[in-house]
Amino acid sequence: MDGNGRWAINRSLPRYEGHWKGAGVAENVIGWSNDRGIKYLTLFSFSTENWKRPPEEVRMIFHILVKYLSDRINKVIEKNAKLHFIGDIDALSPETREVCLNSEFLTSKCTGMVINLAVNYSGRSEILKAAKESKGENFESYLYTAGQPDPDLLIRTGGEKRISNFMLWQMAYTELYFTDVLWPDFSENDLEIALEDFSRRQRRFGGIE
């Protein structure tokens, strides 16, 4: 979900306004995806590299996360969606960690769409963690996404064409889609365009058919 800061700067607004707007778009994308029968959706909210940002921006990002989870969790439950956090949430502040864990608990009995929120996430760290804990056996069961299928499609907004340390193991055969649209401007039509592009691709997974 790239482009929040640039969206705000383009409008002479503080960067955190872009993150507020982006949080609303994330909520919309959850609804649009659920309406289309998408079973798994992962939103890359905050990477381990994002700690390099100005402290005030980091503080606001987590404030927005806590605010949204606290205020909108009932909307998630109404959609029968289950929240699952991937990343090292143990390293977060006690308040943020508690809200994350409580959100998982409140949605744990939901049986519909699974929403992965990647918070303090690093693909490299996830692989190292799983390798250490698995001791070479049942490796994938030690990933944050254990029991889930690998992603079919990665959508990255904001014009950058890289995966930025995201789901490095799981994305071995994921289709990549890049758009110049900044995340706060991402619309239902933009999602539909990405899905239509995906539907036209031939996925061989190393084979010839």
Is residue 2 part of the annotated active site? The answer reads: yes
Q: What share of the chain is helix, strand, coil (3-state, %, to 5)?
A: 50, 15, 35
Find the helix or strand (DSSP H, E) in which 175 lies: strand 175-178
| Ordered DSSP codes for 58-124 | HHHHHHHHHHHHHHHHHHHHHTT-EEEEES-GGGS-HHHHHHHHHHHHHTTT--S-EEEEEEEE-HH
- Please tell me which residue in 10, 34, 35, 50 is annotated as part of the active site: 50
Which residues are 115's β-sheet partners? 41, 83
Cβ-Cβ contacts under 8 Å for 187 (sequence gap 6 or more): 181
Q: Catalytic residue numbers?
A: 2, 50
